[in-house]
Homo-oligomer: A and B are copies of this chain.
Amino acid sequence: MGHLGQNILNYELENGVNMCCDEDCSKNEINTTLIQYAVKDLLTGLGEDINREGIIKTPLRVAKALCDGTRGYSQSAKEIVEGALFPEAGVDNTKVGHAGGVGGLVIVRDLEFYSYCESCMLPFYFKCHVGYVPSGQRVLGLSKLSRVTNVFAKRLQEPQRLADEVCFALHQGIEPAGVAVVLQCTHINIPDTVFDTNHKGLVETLVSSGSGVFENKDADMWGDVFGLLKFRGIDKDKVHVKGSLDQYWCPSLSSKIGEINPIMVTAVSSILKSLGEDPTRKELVGTPSRYVKWLMNFQYCSDIDGKLKLNGSPWSGEVNFDEKEVHSELNLPFWSQCEHHLLPFHGVVHIGYFISKGCHPIEKSLLQSIVLFYGFKLQVQERLTKQIAETISPLIGGNVIVVVEASHTCMVSRGIEKFGSNTATIAVLGRFSIDLAAKTAFLESIPK
């Protein structure tokens, strides 16, 4: 019992486990409560004060988001397809023309979703292109291709299995000549060398799945699919080959796990169980440790001076405001974890400050270290921006502008699902607050 989180233990002692409960609603309530206790253990393990105002409701938000994000376990693709099959003449196999006569391929492209990675429990984004060749004189309502995909997206997943499950469910439901599914998946990844600015901080993989006339991946019919996708940046030759050795798309699978807090690991196992998953399933056995390892990147640490030795290399630049020049340090990457939802947000930081001609700017690596330091903790973007500005300000003479641009997983992997949205925050200190021309010059130096 030593590994069991204290909060969970308390709850189970008070309320019992394996209670007989037939009603879904109170079962969900118990699960949500159990997840909240587990999240409290995780926050405690990170060194956070779970009663701090900003995070006091985080356990509830995380529990709700996780239950919502895995609602696919209780949904049925069959029910979605039934009742949305419409009779349509001319899509049988008797006419001239391949694959169902003149009613050939129907494909819906560029559907955006997120799912949860079964290896590390982080949300991953994917763009789905899903098509089928009608048969039996009936077609499916277009939105159902999206809805069925979402049933399987809202589970703990791995790209290839996700594609296979969507393909299988649609084939069973529509009984068409064939189904084709192509997924472009993107997973957050903190690169080993964060100073490599060419690294996008993301891992991408492309998978496909086919049934019927698409069963054989070299079938001619795939030509129609990729013919209509090639303008969307999809190269058939880059599709992951099933069972090939490069199967570890999740970065957590290829990195070593050191010593891990057992209470936190137990807490994650308990979450998996509450979501209806089996933590002993082969693919999930290491998931709690991998998630905790990710989380520990964001362990509480207030000691920037001790950690970065900011006073070690004082800036030698000077500012003569008669010959003022704005120096821009652009696109410094960062990774952070939203303290309201325990979900990643990441992006780039742009920093501007005044410098006299001929003077050396402050070392870029120092600025990058400051940016990373404030990213690697539970954060909100507004605070991150402020902390970076306030830390840099005394180093470069008090006049600084900081812009943070970030994609928030919490804007995507929860109810609102606003794909493609991006948040920008600005902090302005000293002269930049009155010198409009300098501020404009800096903002214009930021690349798209």
Contacts and interface: CB of A to CB of B under 8 A. Distances in A.
A86 B339 CA distance: 11
Interface stretch (A35-43, A206-214, A317-325, A436-444): A436-444
A102 B143 contact: no
Given A90-B386, A97-B430, 5 more contacts: A102-B390, A108-B421, A143-B410, A143-B415, A146-B418
Given A97-B433, A142-B408, A386-B103, A110 B444 contact: no
Interface in A400-424: 403, 408, 410-411, 414-424
A427 interface: yes
A136 interface: no
Interface stretch (A22-30, A163-171, A222-230): A222-230
B110 A143 contact: no
Interface residues of A, number: 79
Interface in A51-83: 53-54
A377 B224 CA distance: 28
A227 B444 contact: yes
Most buried by B among A227, A385, A430: A227
Contacts of A139: 380, 382
Contacts of A107: 423-425
21 contacts: A53-B87, A88-B382, A88-B383, A91-B386, A97-B428, A97-B430, A105-B426, A106-B382, A106-B425, A107-B425, A108-B423, A109-B422, A110-B421, A111-B418, A112-B421, A131-B424, A143-B415, A223-B436, A223-B443, A227-B440, A228-B443
Contacts of A194: none
Contacts of A45: none
A139 B430 CA distance: 22
Contacts of A142: 381, 408, 410-411, 423
A427 B103 contact: yes
Contact of A382 (B91, B99, B389, B440): B91
A385 to B, nearest CB: 8
A434 B87 contact: no
What's the dominant secondary structure at chain A's contact region?
mixed
A415 to B, nearest CB: 8
B416 A224 contact: no
A96 interface: yes
Nearest to A430: B96
A422 B380 CA distance: 35
B446 A231 contact: yes
A88 B430 contact: no
A379 to B, nearest CB: 11
Given A224-B443, A423-B108, A443-B228, A428 B98 contact: yes
B448 A109 contact: no
Nearest to A95: B429
A54 B421 CA distance: 37
A141 interface: yes
Interface string A123-154: 00000000100100001011100110010000
Interface string A215-242: 0000010011001101100000000000
Contacts of A429: 96-97, 102
B103 A382 contact: yes
B86 A425 contact: no
Given A86-B54, A143-B411, A410-B142, A104 B428 contact: yes
A357 interface: no
B54 A424 contact: no
B110 A146 contact: no
A340 interface: yes
